[in-house]
Amino acid sequence: MINRSLGTSGLEVSAIGFGCMGLNHGYGHSLTENDAVAVIRSAVDLGVTFFDTAEVYGPYTNEELVGKALAPVRDQVVIATKFGFSIDGGRSTGLDSRPDHIRTTVEESLRRLDIERIDLLYQHRVDPQVPIEDVAGTVKELIEAGKVGHFGLSEAGVEIIRRAHVVQPVTALQSEYSLWWREPEAEIIPTLHELGIGLVPFSPLGKGFLTGTISGATSFSDSDVRSNLPRYSEQMRTAHQSLVDLVTAIGARNNATPAQVALAWILAQHPTNVPIPGTTKLHRLQENTAAVDVELSATDLDQLNAASAEVDLSTDRYPAHMQRWINR
């Protein structure tokens, strides 16, 4: 595994991180605690040093799991978590980035993760009821207190990024980004490069679509988040099968899997991009981390760029109640 710096912050992480959410949240197939811990520790063995979680995953149980798994190697890894939701009765009930709520959330996350400092703390979603200056100022106080190392934003738009960065330098922006969703390239990514902020793409494999294991005929269980996402309708998947076919073909001529091609494409876009694919399977973990060794040619990249530029970006990524949390 090679390392990368998130923007100009100096925060060094493995070039491919690990998104921990799916171990017990979101996709309808939670691992046992022992199996989930084994996956995370296998990621460490493969050189992964960057692990992503959030209080709302579970809620709460994902942070506890990550904390337990990484306790023996705490000084070797970077742990990122997120605040920004109100949670009641085991479910998120809306956004809440009020300063007092941020402080409370951080204390609880530190306890669940069993750590003294959160290496990278993201605002999970922009709260329109709380000025971003108040949010950034609160995180700045937490950094000065030694409870947080770096400040991040998730799914924030250009104006929010700029305003936050003035108050407290933003180390990383987490955003969906892949061959299946290149919308951030229009305005957000140029802003990140200008300000020296790293990009942490989540769903870099298109929530599995780019791996070649999903087709128009695939059905998702009711507990799988993709069953409610407009972009994962049978019609959308069928309409964009040609992109997956191309990713597969380019993989074949590079002795790589489709997933490795999709990750290698992200890595090739900019040296401060750090994707965080998640998996529950050890062989997929090995596959994903090996993507750092895949070198795509200029022809490969041109073909992938041309094909993915044809992807329909007009369909919302989330149902209405979740889409309203996306700030652009």
Q: Which of 27, 57, 122, 177 is catalytic?
A: 57
Q: How far apart, in Å, are the Cα atoms of 58 and each of 62, 163, 174?
A: 6, 31, 19
Residue 172 φ/ψ, nearest 5 degrees: -150, 150
Could you tell me the two tokens for 147? 């409870």
Q: How far apart are CA 124 and CA 153, in angstroms?
A: 7
Single out the residue of 147, 215, 186, 173 nearest to residue 9, CA to CA: 173
**What stretch of H or E contains 150?**
strand 148-154
Q: How far apart are CA 296 and CA 177, in angstroms?
A: 18
Query: 155: left (phi > 0), else alpha (psi -120 to 50), else beta?
Result: left
Q: Specify whether 57 is catalytic.
A: yes
Q: Which residue has the tokens 């942490």?
A: 200
The catalytic residues are 57
